[in-house]
Chain A
Amino acid sequence: MSMPFYVPPEQVMKDRADFAQKGIARGRSLAAVEFTDGVLLCAENPSRNLRKISEIYDRIAFAGVGRYNEYDQLRIAGIRHADVKGYTYSRDDVDPQALANQYAQMMGQIFTHETKPLEVEILVAAVGFRREDDRMFHVRYDGSVTDEDGFAVLGGEAESMRERLAASYAEGMDAATALQSTVSALAGEDETLSAEELEVAILDRADKGRCFRRLENGEIETLLG
C-alpha cells in the first residue's frame, strides 16, 4: 500500500473552497430585496424551465446559483423538510431559520466529508406579516450562513453587484423601484437586461396562504417601465 503525501488541512480546505468558488463563478448571478409589500427575488436566467427561484412553503422561497442539479436537489430537500414539518406540527411552525440551519448542516457536512464540495450558494427568503419580520439567509458552499438585511446577492460577481445594489437600495421601496434597482445591479455598468432574460418572483406579504408568485414577462416589463 502506498503512503499518501501529507497535505495540511488548511491546504485541503483552501483547495475545496477554490474549487467551489470557481464552479459558482461560472454561473449567472441572482439578487433579492425586501420592499414594502414583500420580498422580490430576481435572477438572470434565459431559461423558462430550469428555474433558479422557487417556492418552498407558504411564506418561504428558495433561490440558488451554481450547478443546477445540486441546488435543485437542495430545493427538493427543503420542500420535503417544510411539508413534513408542517404536516407533523402545524403550518405556522415551518420557519425559515430552521430550514437555513438544516441547509447549513448539510452543506457543511458535504464540504468537509464528501469527495467534492457543492458548487452552489443558496438563499432562503421569508416574508413576515410585518416588514420587520422579513428574513433572508444566505448559505454558502461550505455551510457558512449569513443573515442578510434588506438585500442579498448571490453568485460569481457578487461583490461588484453588492456595491451597486447597496448604492441604490433604500428601505420601503415599491415593487417597481425594487425590481429596477435589482435589475440594474444584475446587469452592471451600461448594460441592460430584458424581461426574457429575467426570472422574477415575489413573496407577497398580503397573501394569507401561499405567498409565492412568479411574475410573467408582461408584468416584468410593466414594472421595469
Chain B
Amino acid sequence: MVSGHQPPRYSARRMSLPNFDTSSDPGPSFAGLLGQLGQSVRYDQTAGQLAAPDATEITHGTTVVAARFADGVIIAGDRRATSGNLISHRTMQKVFPADRWSGIAIAGAAGPALEMVKLFQLQLEHYEKVEGRPLSLEGKANQLSQMLRNHLPAAMQGLVVVPLFAGFDQHRGRGRLFAYDVTGGRYEEEDFVASGSGSLFARTVVKLGQRNTNSQDEAVDLMIRALFTAADDDSATGGPDSMRGIYPIVAVITDDGYAELDEADVATRFEAVLSEFGNQLRDDDEGAQQ
C-alpha cells in the first residue's frame, strides 16, 4: 500500500481488504467500489438481448406519496404488490429510511426497486463513513438520479422504477421533496409528490388539503385520506386491511431524523377516516330518501 508496485486494480491476490492505487481508487463511492471489484449491479448487460418480460410475471409496487408540513416532510406508501391482475404480496414495504435524515419510497418493478433502495442506502452510509460527514441533501438526490440513469436500459425493457426522495435539509432547515422519472430526471417539488399506479387519485386528495404549514397530525391524516382514496379507485393499491392487521407505512422526517409511525397509531387514524367516509355515505342515502 505504501509502495507503487502493486496491481492497479483490486485482485483476489490482494486478499479481501480492498485497497487501491491512487489512480484507480473509487473514493467514497460504494457503487464505484463494487465496479472496481467486478460486482456492479446491472440489468442492461443481458436485458438488451432478452425479450421484454411479460408484465404479469414481474412484481410491481404501487402507490407512494410524500408532502411537506411545518416541521419537515411526510412520506407514505401502501403495502400491496401485484403481478398482473394478481396480488402477490400484502405486506410489502415501499417506504424506507435512506439515512438518518432522509427517506425513499418506491413504485414500479419491485425486484430492481428494492435493490436500488439497498444500494442507495449503502451508498449514503459508505460516503458518510469514508468521508466522516454525510452528503448534503442535494448530493443524495443527485446520487439517486445517477442510479436511475444507469438503470434506464433495464427500464426500457419493462423494469421501470420510479422512486420518491424526501429529506430534511439541515443547511436550509426545512424539508425537501424530489420526484424522478425513468431517465434519471430529478424534479424538486415545493409541496407534494406521488408515484405509482394509484398516484393520480392520491395526488388529487393531497392537492386539496396540502399546506406547507400543516401540523404533523394534519399531514398524517392527509396521507391516510390520499392512500385510502387511491386504494378505493385503483385495484393495484392496497387499502387498510383490518382483518390481517396490515396498514400503510407512514414516516415523518424532521430535524430529529426519520421516524416511522406506530402501526397501531396508523390503524386508529384509518378507522377515524373510514367512519367519517361511512357517515358521509349514510347521510347522502338519508338525504336522497327524504
**Cα A86 to Cα B16 with chains together (Å):** 13
The answer on a CB contact under 8 Å between B17 and A105 is yes
B contact residues around A13 at 8 Å (CB): none
**Cα A106 to Cα B14 with chains together (Å):** 8
Residues of A in contact with B (beta carbons under 8 Å apart): 51, 54-56, 70, 73, 76-81, 83-88, 102-103, 105-106, 109-110, 114-116, 118, 210
Once A79-B130, A84-B34 are accepted as A-B contacts, the answer to whether A70 and B16 lie under 8 Å apart by CB is no
The answer on a CB contact under 8 Å between B122 and A110 is no
The answer on a CB contact under 8 Å between B2 and A110 is yes
The answer on a CB contact under 8 Å between B33 and A80 is yes
Distance in Å from the Cβ of B117 to the closest Cβ of chain A? 13
> Would you give 20 A-B contacts (Cβ < 8 Å), ordered by A?
A54-B132, A55-B129, A56-B129, A73-B1, A73-B19, A76-B130, A77-B18, A79-B129, A80-B17, A81-B18, A83-B33, A83-B122, A83-B129, A84-B34, A102-B15, A103-B17, A114-B3, A115-B2, A118-B2, A210-B125
A-B complex: 9 closest residue pairs judged by Cβ atoms = A80-B18, A102-B17, A77-B19, A77-B17, A79-B129, A106-B17, A83-B126, A114-B3, A81-B17
Task: Select from chain B the residue with minimum beta-carbon distance to A50.
Answer: B132
Once A54-B129, A83-B125 are accepted as A-B contacts, the answer to whether A78 and B1 lie under 8 Å apart by CB is no
Choice from A55, A78, A83, A116 contacting B17 with Cβ under 8 Å? A78
Residues of B in contact with A (beta carbons under 8 Å apart): 1-3, 15-19, 30, 33-34, 37, 39, 118-119, 122, 125-126, 129-130, 132
Distance in Å from the Cβ of A43 to the closest Cβ of chain B? 15
Distance in Å from the Cβ of B250 to the closest Cβ of chain A? 20
**Cα A78 to Cα B18 with chains together (Å):** 8
B contact residues around A116 at 8 Å (CB): 2-3
The answer on a CB contact under 8 Å between A87 and B122 is yes
B contact residues around A56 at 8 Å (CB): 129
A contact residues around B126 at 8 Å (CB): 79-80, 83
Distance in Å from the Cβ of A46 to the closest Cβ of chain B? 17
* Most chain A CB atoms below 10 A, which of B33, B129, B130, B132: B129
Choice from A87, A102, A110 contacting B1 with Cβ under 8 Å? A110
Once A79-B130, A84-B39, A87-B118 are accepted as A-B contacts, the answer to whether A70 and B2 lie under 8 Å apart by CB is yes
The answer on a CB contact under 8 Å between B16 and A115 is no
B contact residues around A210 at 8 Å (CB): 125
- Extra pairs beyond A56-B129, A87-B30 (10, CB < 8 Å): A73-B19, A77-B1, A79-B130, A84-B18, A84-B39, A86-B122, A106-B1, A109-B15, A115-B3, A210-B125
Once A80-B33, A83-B125, A83-B126 are accepted as A-B contacts, the answer to whether A102 and B3 lie under 8 Å apart by CB is no
**Cα A48 to Cα B86 with chains together (Å):** 56
**Cα A83 to Cα B130 with chains together (Å):** 11
Distance in Å from the Cβ of B247 to the closest Cβ of chain A? 22
Task: Select from chain A the residue with minimum beta-carbon distance to B99.
Answer: A210
The answer on a CB contact under 8 Å between A102 and B2 is no
**Cα A152 to Cα B81 with chains together (Å):** 51
Task: Select from chain A the residue with minimum beta-carbon distance to B5.
Answer: A114
B contact residues around A77 at 8 Å (CB): 1, 17-19
**Cα A102 to Cα B118 with chains together (Å):** 26
Distance in Å from the Cβ of B126 to the closest Cβ of chain A? 5
**Cα A79 to Cα B123 with chains together (Å):** 12
Distance in Å from the Cβ of B288 to the closest Cβ of chain A? 54
B contact residues around A54 at 8 Å (CB): 129, 132
A contact residues around B19 at 8 Å (CB): 73, 77, 80, 106
Distance in Å from the Cβ of B32 to the closest Cβ of chain A? 11
